Amino acid sequence: MTVIKGITGTLLGMWTTWKHIFGRPVTIRYPEEKRIPSPRFRARIVLTRDPDGEERCVACYLCSAACPVDCISMQSAERDNGRRYPSWFRINFSRCIFCGMCAEACPTMAIQMTPDYEICNRDIMNLVYEKEDLLIDGCGKAPTYNYYHHAGIGVTQPRGTAAEENPPVDRRTLLP
């Protein structure tokens, strides 16, 4: 009985591998053929701009704090109108693990992941991306969002005229 079981087991295994010889390989010839990753694929990180063309990043350091491998660093600065921005912004892609925590942490949708996975390089210093390498001209995945339209601080419009905001109330009119 064990003999029959052993022989059939072996032959079944052989049959399985035989079928797989003619199956379609799951791997591809990479540089010639490329997979198209889904739009949500997490690869090269970019800094986006808002619909008005201003950079979205407000240099809040949340991405830097969320990053588990500490590959994001920046220096915050502020313009005269109160708008914050990073004076420099640096992502070290040789450390980045593409976890997407930074993009999740970002309150202004500035930092986003793109499906561009081909960023490997022979010189490791070329993987340290500065602000001008990271900043793109588009809005990325949030085409209409503008943080300052919702923020209630008078940067893009006078206070009290933002999207979910009521105009300031004159307290004197509330007196009995």
Partner 1 sequence: MTGSFIDIALMLGKIGLILLVILLLAAYMVLAERKLLGYIQERLGPNRAGWWGLLQPLADGIKLITKEDVKPAGADKWLFYLAPAMAAIPAIMIFAVIPFGPPLTLFGREVTQQVIDLNVGLLFFLAFSSIAVYGVALGGWASNSKYSLLGGIRGLAQLISYEIPLGLSLVPVVMLARSFQLSEIVAAQQSCWFIVYQPLAFIIFLISIFAECKRIPFDLPEAEGELVAGFHTEYSGMRFGLFFVGEYINIIVLGALAATFFLGGWHGPLLPPVVWLLIKVLAVAFLFIWVRGTLPRMRYDQLMHFGWKILTPLALVNILATGWFIVLKG
Residue in the block written with tokens 């450390």: 95
Min. distance of Cβ 127 from partner 1 in angstroms?
25
Nearer to partner 1, 29 or 122 (CB): 29
Contacts of 49 (CB under 8 A, 6+ apart): 55, 56, 135, 136, 137, 138, 139
- The secondary structure of the chain in percent helix, strand, coil, rounded to multiples of 5, reads 25, 15, 60
Nearer to partner 1, 31 or 68 (CB): 31
Min. distance of Cβ 19 from partner 1 in angstroms?
10
Nearer to partner 1, 23 or 167 (CB): 23
Q: What span, in angstroms and rounded, lies between the C-alpha atoms of 15 and 17?
A: 6
Min. distance of Cβ 8 from partner 1 in angstroms?
14
Phi, psi at 48, each rounded to 5°: -100, 170
Residue ranges that bind partner 1, judged by CB under 8 A = 10, 13-14, 16-18, 20-29
Polymer length of the chain: 176
Min. distance of Cβ 124 from partner 1 in angstroms?
24
Nearer to partner 1, 18 or 122 (CB): 18
